[in-house]
Structure 1
Amino acid sequence: MKAIVVGGGVVGLNIALALQNKNISVILLEAEPVRKAASYGNAGHIAIEQVEPLASVAMVKSAFKRWFALGGALSFPAAGFREWLPFSFRLLKASAPAQFAKGKTALSALIAEAMPAWKRRVADIGATDLLREDGHFVIWETPESAAKGLADWKSTDTGTARFHEATDDEMAQLTSITKAPIAGAIRFENTGQVSDTARLLKTLEAVFIERGGVIYYKSVAALNVEGGQAFVKLKGGEILTADRVVISAGVASKTLLEPLGHRVPIIAERGYHIQTAQHGWPQSLPPVVFEDRSMIVTGFESGLRAASFVELNRPDAPADARKWQRLRGHVKALGLPFEGEGAEWIGSRPTLPDYLPAIGKSDKADNLYYAFGHQHLGLTLGPVTGEIVADMVTTGHAPKAFDLKRFA
Structure 2
Amino acid sequence: MTEASVQPHAHDIAIVGAGIVGIAVAAYLAEAGRSVTIFDRTGICEETSSGNAAAFAFSDVLPLAQKGMMRNVPKWLMDPLGPLAIPPTYLPKLLPWLLRFWKAGAPEHYEASLAAQAAMMQLAESEWTELMRRSSTQPMLRDDGSLELYESDAEFTASLPGWRARDRFGIKYRHVEGDELAALQPGLSPRFVRGTFVPGWKTVADPKLLGKAVWAYAEAHGARFVQGLVRHVATGEGGVELHLADGRTERAKTLVVAAGAWSHRLARQFGERIPLETERGYNTTLPASAFDVKRQLIFSAHGFVVTPLSTGLRIGGAVELGGLALPPNYARSRAMLDKAKRFLPGLDASGGRDWMGYRPSLPDSLPVIGRARNASNVFYAFGHGHLGLTQSAATGRLIRDLVLGHSLPMDIAPFSSQRF
- Give the TM-score of the pair, scaled to structure 1: 0.92
Q: Which consecutive residues of structure 2, in runs of 5 or more, have no partner in the other structure?
A: 1-10
Structure 2 residue identity aligned to 1:186: T
Stretch moving more, 7-16 or 64-73: 64-73
Q: Is the 8 A contact 1:229 1:366 kept in 2?
A: no
What is the deviation of 1:20?
1.0
What is the deviation of 1:174?
4.6
Deviations 1:75-124 (CA, angstroms, capped at 9, x unpaired): 11112224321110111222232233222221111111111111111101
Runs of 4+ in 1 over 4 A off after TM superposition: 167-170
Residue 288 to residue 58, structure 1, CA distance change in 2 (3 Å) = closer
Q: Is the 8 A contact 1:26 1:214 kept in 2?
A: yes
Q: Is the 8 A contact 1:112 1:160 kept in 2?
A: no
User: In the alignment, which residue of structure 1 is the partner of 2:417?
Assistant: 404
Residue 153 to residue 114, structure 1, CA distance change in 2 (3 Å) = same
Q: Is the 8 A contact 2:24 2:395 kept in 1?
A: yes
User: In the alignment, which residue of structure 2 is the partner of 1:61?
Assistant: 71
Q: Which consecutive residues of structure 1, in runs of 5 or more, have no partner in the other structure?
A: none
Identical columns (%)? 27
Residue 305 to residue 74, structure 1, CA distance change in 2 (3 Å) = same
User: In the alignment, which residue of structure 1 is the partner of 2:7?
Assistant: none
User: In the alignment, which residue of structure 2 is the partner of 1:316?
Assistant: 325
Structure 1 residue identity aligned to 2:317: S
Are residue 197 (structure 1) and residue 207 (structure 2) matched?
yes
Q: Is the 8 A contact 1:73 1:294 kept in 2?
A: yes
Stretch moving more, 103-112 or 235-244: 235-244
Deviations 1:3-60 (CA, angstroms, capped at 9, x unpaired): 1111011110000000012110100111102644321111111111221211238432
Q: Is the 8 A contact 2:337 2:349 kept in 1?
A: no
What is the deviation of 1:145?
2.7
What is the deviation of 1:259?
2.2
* Inter-partner Cα distance in structure 1 for 2:390 and 2:335: 27
Structure 1 residue identity aligned to 2:342: A
Are residue 346 (structure 1) and residue 359 (structure 2) matched?
no
Spell out the pairing of 1:267-278 with structure 2 (5 A cutoff).
267-278=277-288
The counterpart of 1:389, out of the listed 359, 381, 399, is 399
The counterpart of 1:103, out of the listed 103, 113, 117, is 113
* Inter-partner Cα distance in structure 2 for 1:7 and 1:160: 34
* Inter-partner Cα distance in structure 2 for 1:6 and 1:326: 34
* Inter-partner Cα distance in structure 2 for 1:16 and 1:105: 27
Are residue 173 (structure 1) and residue 183 (structure 2) matched?
yes
Are residue 90 (structure 1) and residue 100 (structure 2) matched?
yes
Q: Is the 8 A contact 1:74 1:309 kept in 2?
A: yes
The counterpart of 1:156, out of the listed 149, 155, 165, is 165
**CA RMSD, aligned part only?**
2.2
User: In the alignment, which residue of structure 2 is the partner of 1:293?
Assistant: 302
* Inter-partner Cα distance in structure 2 for 1:68 and 1:346: 22
Residue 24 to residue 353, structure 1, CA distance change in 2 (3 Å) = same
Are residue 325 (structure 1) and residue 334 (structure 2) matched?
yes
Structure 2 residue identity aligned to 1:11: V
* Secondary structure in structure 2 of the residue aligned to 1:113: helix
* Inter-partner Cα distance in structure 1 for 2:60 and 2:364: 14
The counterpart of 1:227, out of the listed 228, 231, 237, is 237
Are residue 183 (structure 1) and residue 183 (structure 2) matched?
no
Residue 46 to residue 372, structure 1, CA distance change in 2 (3 Å) = same
Structure 1 residue identity aligned to 2:382: F
User: In the alignment, which residue of structure 1 is the partner of 2:149?
Assistant: 139
* Inter-partner Cα distance in structure 2 for 1:62 and 1:160: 28
- How many residue pairs were aligned? 405
* Inter-partner Cα distance in structure 2 for 1:83 and 1:378: 25
